[in-house]
Structure 1
């Protein structure tokens, strides 16, 4: 059994994606800074008959993040699918004219150093498997920068560049890197952006393995 590793596990999209990949036969590694809420997610997955484990780590701490992913692979099986979708902190979203160099340190660590750390942790295992999928989930500011959300706009753009380079560099090794852009809010009643619909979209990106950038719905004008 191989593992679906979810960075940024939460009760919305995270739980829905874990259920979808778990239903397909993957064990589930839930990685989140807060250990407290992971128990409830594990219980929900256990009720569905899905094998899952909790691996607390902060994406701003490369050492604990690497250790969590290595432990997950040792405990549950090699990571075949990595989903990087933690929710940025509110203080990353200052207006551009109020943003100084120091204000970009955590957003860039969150959206660039975090993904690089995760990929470097799971890539050797994917290469041994001979396959793998790297899924990056971002908001609309990744492709359309917002002057009131400077930190995430800059950091998401950098994450997008990194993910796009992975898409091209790893394709010959049967490792697929792809990005899902979610322009608006994730809502249970949304036609295209409910947790369940997005989870299905992510699963199809893993199985169909075509193209780099996908949109949950069109960007608003």
Structure 2
């Protein structure tokens, strides 16, 4: 039976690249994103290249409905072997001096709580099978946020802490937990397109989404070691 990857927060950058990379390894692909029109375009592109793929429109901040999405994926494709969590936000650069509890909570609603809930939904079956993979993809601010970039950093740092602890608890039970932190704009991503407004000369570092996809696949090999990687 073909394996299945569920990508939450799928977009034209890292999400699509990971989908193509794992499809090349024989995976079926389930994509979840908020906007159905863009999601349909991603799925159509994958299917046109011979990938078994389907889209499930869902707002990740709607936690109660997430269980239904996971159930729908399992009903169509079977057990979820790999969970990739890679959401993005339109607004990132917020100085710590301007951060509020309300804004911080908004970021946690996207970058932290859905990760925990999705993991809670897929982990029991992975542990029962003694195999599975959970991957988090997000910005390098989770490790160290430079001045002026504190907006989502607290939520992402909390997610990093959660995953690091989870990894230690499930490592001997067949589930690989890992994280890829990106310190550059991802080519073809929505964030890279939006950067044209503040980086018209392309001076900010950029990274190919295929580099991120390769990093995700590298964690599939348990002998690779380590918990997280920073790219580029």
> Is TM > 0.5 for Structure 1 vs Structure 2?
yes
Structure 1 distance, partners of 2:177, 2:4, is 16
Instruction: Report the equivalent of 2:103.
Output: 103
Alignment of 1:27-38 (within 5 A): 27-38=28-39
Instruction: Report the equivalent of 1:195.
Output: 209
**Unaligned 5+ runs, structure 2:** 189-204
Residue pair 2:4, 2:81 contacting (<8 A) in 1 also:
yes
CA 1:103–1:133: 2 relative to 1, 3 Å: same
Residue pair 2:215, 2:229 contacting (<8 A) in 1 also:
no
Q: Deviations over 1:70-112 (max 9, x none)?
A: 210121111110111111231x542211112112111112121
Structure 1 distance, partners of 2:46, 2:105, is 35
Residue pair 1:27, 1:77 contacting (<8 A) in 2 also:
no
Instruction: Report the equivalent of 1:8.
Output: 9
Deviation at 1:69, TM superposition (A): 1.6
Counterpart of 2:185 in 1: which secondary structure?
coil
Instruction: Report the equivalent of 1:166.
Output: 166
Structure 2 distance, partners of 1:158, 1:79, is 24
- The reply to whether residue 213 of structure 1 matches residue 192 of structure 2 is no
Residue pair 1:32, 1:56 contacting (<8 A) in 2 also:
yes
**Unaligned 5+ runs, structure 1:** none
Tell me the C-alpha RMSD between the 2 structures: 1.9
Counterpart of 1:150 in 2: which secondary structure?
coil
Structure 1 distance, partners of 2:213, 2:26, is 15
Structure 2 distance, partners of 1:187, 1:68, is 28
Instruction: Give the total of aligned pairs.
Output: 215
Structure 2 distance, partners of 1:210, 1:89, is 33
Residue pair 1:111, 1:158 contacting (<8 A) in 2 also:
no
Structure 1 distance, partners of 2:187, 2:103, is 30
Structure 1 distance, partners of 2:143, 2:18, is 23
Poorly superposed stretches of 4+, deviation over 4 Å: none
Residue pair 1:192, 1:198 contacting (<8 A) in 2 also:
no
TM-score, normalising length: structure 1? 0.91
TM-score, normalising length: structure 2? 0.87
Structure 2 distance, partners of 1:69, 1:23, is 23
Instruction: Report the equivalent of 1:125.
Output: 125
Counterpart of 1:197 in 2: which secondary structure?
helix
Deviation at 1:192, TM superposition (A): 8.5
Alignment of 1:86-97 (within 5 A): 86-90=87-91, 93-97=93-97
Structure 2 distance, partners of 1:213, 1:178, is 6
CA 1:102–1:30: 2 relative to 1, 3 Å: same
